[in-house]
Structure 1
Amino acid sequence: MSIFILFQSFLGGFFGPICEIDVVLNDGETRKMAEMKTEDGKVEKHYLFYDGESVSGKVNLLFGRII
């Protein structure tokens, strides 16, 4: 399972996202998840990590078109 986050610079908000960051955890398929409510009442699932626990995986950056 991957986590998708859009990364924007100061001007990125005007022209769209600069790149997409894809984080793939080594234990993403077996990692425990916690449900959290957002401000608008929707429920989202997020990976659960404990203090001192190691995190490993791979980060992929996909850059968009350069204007």
Structure 2
Amino acid sequence: MVYETLVEQIKTVPQECLADIQNYVQYILYRYNQSAEKEKHTDLSKYFGSLKFHQDALKIQKEMRSEWN
């Protein structure tokens, strides 16, 4: 849907309904911003890197600790 079509539809709405439309648009923008922010911050591996473990993590820890003893 293009903006012009939406504007024409809003022009046909009674004056009493404009506040509801405004509230609904604000809600849609809020929900969009929430989902965009959630998607933006879910995967931090591209910022901090990630490790691929081919062994059990506890086994690796034990090996590291016994190295110093």
TM tier, smaller = under 0.3
Greater share of helix residues, 1 or 2? Answer: 2
Normalised TM-score (structure 2): 0.22
- Is the radius of gyration larger for structure 1 or structure 2? 2
Greater share of strand residues, 1 or 2? Answer: 1
